[in-house]
């Protein structure tokens, strides 16, 4: 589909972002493959940010032969954990799902639940998986608070970073895979620098393109 709607030589990442800003509804089809795609997670994250800022697009997730009790990866779950999801198991489910999609569009937004209908949802479990909690556990993400119990200190590297910043001419280069705590360690280095009376400046090069 992208090959037909995106011109040859066009920047497809920018085009996808443009279309997400223009669309009113984001129909998200989660298969086993798409649920593990970094690109899909990025598009969902962008759609959720736009929805929180502009009120649209309305995100309509449908799981394609992906059981509701199968946990999603961290990024998708953090974007979708408060959004009701539907399930598709066979072509017999298609007509009813299409009717629901058209009904949502007809009222101009996602249907709001009636208070009397709100109840805890307990997902079915399989024999090979322990039951999921009814309430969501705390999901740490981004920069961890300085007093967070979820932050994992990696010694001697944490202490060496703190010691190096005390030299007043120190340079610390932190390299690690994603979600390993680099930004949280940087926050602790910056906090120690403030204790020493330093003035701190943070430059985030991830924002340069935007």
pTM score, whole prediction: 0.51
Q: How confident is the model at residue 30 (pLDDT cuts 50, 70, 90)?
A: very high
φ and ψ at residue 147, rounded to 5 degrees: -100, 15
Direct distance between the N- and C-terminal alpha carbons of the chain, in angstroms, rounded to an integer:
26
> Domain range spanning residue 170?
157-207
Highest mean pLDDT pick, 27-36, 68-77, 117-126, 132-141:
27-36
In a domain, 140, yes or no: no
Tell me, what CATH number does 40's domain have? 3.40.50
In a domain, 119, yes or no: no
37 and 98, same domain (yes or no)? yes
State percent of the chain over pLDDT 70.
Answer: 82
104 and 6, same domain (yes or no)? yes
Residue 107 CA from chain centroid, whole number: 27
What's the mean pLDDT in 80-87? 87
99 and 169, same domain (yes or no)? no
In a domain, 132, yes or no: no
Q: Indicate the helix (H) or strand (E) that contains 22.
A: helix 12-22
18 and 88, same domain (yes or no)? yes
- Check residue 119 and give its pLDDT: 43
Q: Mind listing the pLDDT tens digit for each residue in 149-182?
A: 778 888 898 999 888 888 877 788 888 888 788 8
Residues 6+ away with beta carbon under 8 Å from 143: 183, 184, 187
């Amino acid at each position: 589909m992208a090959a037909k709607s995106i011109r040859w030589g066009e920047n497809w990442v920018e085009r996808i972002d443009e279309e997400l800003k223009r669309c009113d509804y984001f129909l998200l089809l989660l298969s086993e493959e798409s649920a593990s795609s970094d690109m899909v997670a990025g598009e969902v994250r962008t759609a959720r940010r736009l929805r929180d800022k502009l009120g649209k697009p309305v995100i309509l997730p449908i799981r394609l032969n992906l059981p509701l009790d199968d946990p999603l990866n961290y990024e998708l779950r953090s974007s979708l954990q408060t959004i009701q999801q539907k399930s598709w198991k066979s072509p017999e489910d298609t007509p009813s799902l299409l009717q629901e999609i058209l009904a949502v569009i007809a009222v101009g937004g996602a249907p709001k639940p009636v208070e009397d209908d709100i109840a805890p949802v307990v997902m079915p479990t399989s024999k090979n998986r322990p039951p999921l909690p009814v309430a969501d556990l705390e999901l740490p993400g981004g920069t961890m608070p300085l007093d967070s119990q979820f932050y994992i200190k990696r010694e001697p590297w944490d202490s060496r970073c703190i010691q190096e910043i005390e030299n007043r001419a120190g340079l610390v280069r932190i390299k690690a895979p994603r979600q390993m705590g680099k930004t949280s360690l940087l926050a602790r280095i910056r906090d120690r620098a403030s204790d020493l009376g330093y003035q701190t400046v943070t430059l985030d090069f991830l924002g340069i393109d935007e």
